[in-house]
Amino acid sequence: MIVFGLYAAAILRRFEMTVGLKSKMFRKKIFSLISAFLITSIFPSLVFPAANVIGGQTFAYNPNPVTSAMGDAGTALLSDKVCSAILNPASTIGSYRIVASVSNSLIFKDIQYNYLGAQFPTEIGKFGFSFMYVGLGNKDYLNNSGNSIKMGSTNDIGFILNYSIDLKKTIPLEVVYSGLGINIKALRSSLGDYISEVLAADVGAIFILPQIENFSLGIAYKNLGPKIKFISEGYDLPQTLAFGTAYHEDNFYNLKVALDYNMQTYSGNFFSAGTSISPIYFLSLRGGVKLTDESHNADVRVGFGLEFENIMIDYSYSPEQKLGGGTHNINLSWAVGKFNSQRTAYDYYMQNHFREAVGLYRKKDFIAARQKFYEILAVYPGHAPSKEYLGKIEDALNAVDEYRASIVNKYMKRGNKALEKGDVIEARKNFEYVLELDSENALANDGIEKIEDYTRMVSIEKAKAKNKKSIEYLWNRAQKFYKKGELVHSKESLGFILDMDPENTAAKKEITNIDNQLSKIASDKVTEIYNQGMDLFNKGNFEDAIRYFEAVVIAVPQRMDVRELIEKAKKNIEEIAQYERTSKVAVTQDKVRGELESIFEKALSYYNKNDLEAAVKYFKESKELADKYEFKDYSAKSQNYISKVNKDLSDIYYKKGFELYRKNKFEAAAKEYKVALRYNSSNTSALLEYDRVTEELAQKYYKEGMVFYSKGDFAKSRELFKIALTYKPDKIEVKRFLDRIR
């Protein structure tokens, strides 16, 4: 602040000489100019509130939200963004393709720091440029009379040219072990009508420690250059010697930890620490702390980053305890072009896919995560972390299976206990629940069979009790016929008993006895039975005649003439039924002819109006009526129109479905395709599109079901699996997992 006073006094003296004013009032009026200067010398109060310099602070500000959110720690971190070169010019050895960045910082509500830069990796090193503009804008300056005085705008314009190169050994393998970098910087600082220009440089290095995996060290000396002069006095640039160390673990949420210590020639030294972690593969959360020799200048910072393939968005917020308002910093970066090496592309995409797979694992979507890890290993078979996670997934799925097995055992015990008590309803409920979890569980299937046997026996006993009087009556009648020697009538009565009580052993035994007797009766008795059958046959009582003829065949199996009579009797029964039906139809045809013609004409009317759905409805009615009353001509005409209209309607609904599919409305599209196929199952286009959309929908519900399956929510996963099967009933993987949770 002493230098602020000296700088303000120098400006005041020069201005007094310019306008010829030295009064006390002048000093009060000129306060606005001094205040503007104090803010615009920005960064003594902006970044280093106790600074001893008055110019060049634009070079001291960190426009990178990534490291800003980490407390300005990042001297040892590699980066693909050129703005990281402001902390350490060697950090850009981490760039792998052209990346452009633009950022804006809002400082204390009204100071704007705008940044534009790009990084270009080449075979001979990494080149980058940065352009900064810091503006306070035009202020209303007053003289001692209170009159407005026009002066120029207050701003800083900076330019940085960055170059970095990685140092590596190539034998026996190519390994990067360090990197060097340099910034050449130019600054043009304007305070009202006063302009100062200066050149400066930064140098830095990063060392990757081969002995300690994932660790790096960094060192940078920044703002080497002559003094920046305003009026006649020169002031040192904000020179800084920074030391840092960093740790990164790509396989653990892309974790980064950085620790820095900065020794400043113009302000208090400070220690900073920060971390970055990605709980979701496209999201990074960051935080850090900055501790200075001046306690009022310490702060805690936060930020986040979003990465979508080639586009990156980063944000940070750092509060200002002394001046208030804080600093908001947002950066947009986008990558352009190809990677500078195949290995870099390999590492980049592999890591992105791995982070996505880990995110699925953390969400307990084990099936989707397993598939993703399999895809990674198909291309990168030696990727150990993917193999490790596959082992974890198998353990998790085994745990799910063990849990399901414990549930199965619990319900099996309940079912067996209920069955022992005779509570078949409770027993069946528990056995069926077991089969929902394990459809091939033999013990549960045995339990269901026992319940069905028990239920069958109970049903038979109930039927016996209900038909007791009828069974007793038929039994007595069968016995009377038997005693009279009327074996055919006796067997008929016993058959009625078996209709009511299929397990009646007494009736079965008597029927067997009668059949044996019929096979042994004398030829004269056979002739008597045959004659009785013929008498019934000649009287047209074909059903009773068949019974007698069948008794003859039992006694004399070689009687082919009797077998022919049985077939003739059956044919006569069918002809009589056909004649009766035809006669009935002939009588009713005249009654319905007018109704049929009316329906057919109505269908034609709708067809001519192109109301196809109404037309096909009435054509179907006319065909149904024509078939019922055997109007063959109307049946044929109706069918022809139905075929034509169905084809037209199928094409219409196919086109509706295709439009819905193009709009990504898959379920609605599936319904339209299904209607199209209902009208015309031979519509090849509709069939192909229906297969495609139902496969996509089945896969969608299968994946959603697997998410809930992985979480142990079997009821919800079962519901989603069943929906998937409505679209693809033969989808094997869905059936497999549905069987596992039954």
Q: What is the 3-class SS of 298-343, one letter each residue?
A: CEEEEEEEEEECCEEEEEEEECCCCCCCCEEEEEEEEEECCCCCHH
> What pLDDT was estimated at residue 684?
85
**726/268 Cα distance (integer angstroms):** 71
Helix (H) / strand (E) containing 139: none
Q: Is it the case that residue 7 has pLDDT exceeding 50?
A: no
Q: Are the beta carbons of 120 and 81 closer than 8 angstroms?
A: no
- pLDDT (0 to 100) of residue 109: 64
Q: How many whole angstroms from its chain centre is CA 668?
A: 20
For the chain, give the mean pLDDT: 81
Q: How many CB atoms lie within 10 A of CB 426?
A: 15
Q: Which amino acid is at 1?
A: M
Residue 32 pLDDT level (bands cut at 50, 70, 90)? very low
Q: Does 322 have pLDDT greater than 60?
A: no
Q: pTM of the predicted model, to two decimals?
A: 0.50
Residues 228 and 198 sit within 8 Å (Cβ to Cβ): yes
Query: Nearest 5°: phi and psi at 627?
Result: -65, -40
pLDDT level of residue 452 (50, 70, 90 thresholds)? confident
pLDDT for 321: 52
Contact between 168 and 149 (Cβ < 8 Å): no
pLDDT at 131: 94
> What SS3 class is residue 375?
helix
Amino acid at 179: G
SS3 234: strand
* HSE (side-chain half, CA atoms, 13 Å) at 444: 21
Helix and strand numbers (H, E) in the chain are: 22, 18
Using CA atoms, how far residue 719 sits from 367, 368, 436, 617, 723, in Å, is: 17, 18, 12, 35, 6
The DSSP H or E segment spanning 1 is none
The reported pLDDT for the residue numbered 404 is 74
3-state secondary structure string across 142-154: ECCCCCEECCCCE
Q: Which of 139-153, 675-689, 693-707, 717-731 has the lowest mean pLDDT?
A: 139-153
Is-contact 58 46, C-beta < 8 A?
no
User: How many residues comprise the chain?
Assistant: 742
What is the predicted pLDDT for the residue at 14? Answer: 38
User: How many CB atoms sit inside 10 A of residue 377's CB?
Assistant: 14
Give the DSSP H or E segment for 653.
Answer: helix 632-662
The string of pLDDT tens digits covering residues 696-740 is 898 888 888 888 877 778 888 888 888 988 888 887 877 777 776
Instruction: Decide: helix, strand or coil at residue 119.
Output: strand
Range of weakest confidence among 13-22, 58-67, 360-369, 655-664: 13-22
Lowest mean pLDDT among 173-177, 265-269, 306-310, 636-640: 173-177
Cβ atoms of residues 722 and 734 within 8 Å: no
Decide if 98 contacts 337 (C-beta within 8 A). yes
Angle at 35 between CA 33 and CA 37, to 5 degrees: 70
Give which of 146, 397, 706, 104 is closest to 405, Cα–Cα: 397
Query: What pLDDT score does 223 carry?
Result: 92
How far apart are the C-alpha atoms of 57 and 43, rounded to whole Å? 5
| pLDDT range class, residue 367, cuts 50, 70, 90 | confident
Q: Where are the alpha helices (DSSP H) in 422-486?
A: 424-437, 442-466, 468-483
If you average pLDDT over residues 500-524, what whole number do you get? 79
pLDDT recorded at residue 20: 42
Across residues 390-410, what is the average pLDDT?
82
CA distance 498 to 494: 7
Residues 318, 319, 320, CA angle at the centre, nearest 5°? 120
Q: What is the pLDDT of residues 245-264, one digit of tens each?
A: 999 887 788 899 999 999 98
Q: Is the pLDDT of residue 29 over 60?
A: no
Distances (CA, A) of 245 to 206, 212, 249, 259: 9, 12, 14, 5
Q: Which residues contact 480 (CB under 8 A, 6 or more apart)?
A: none
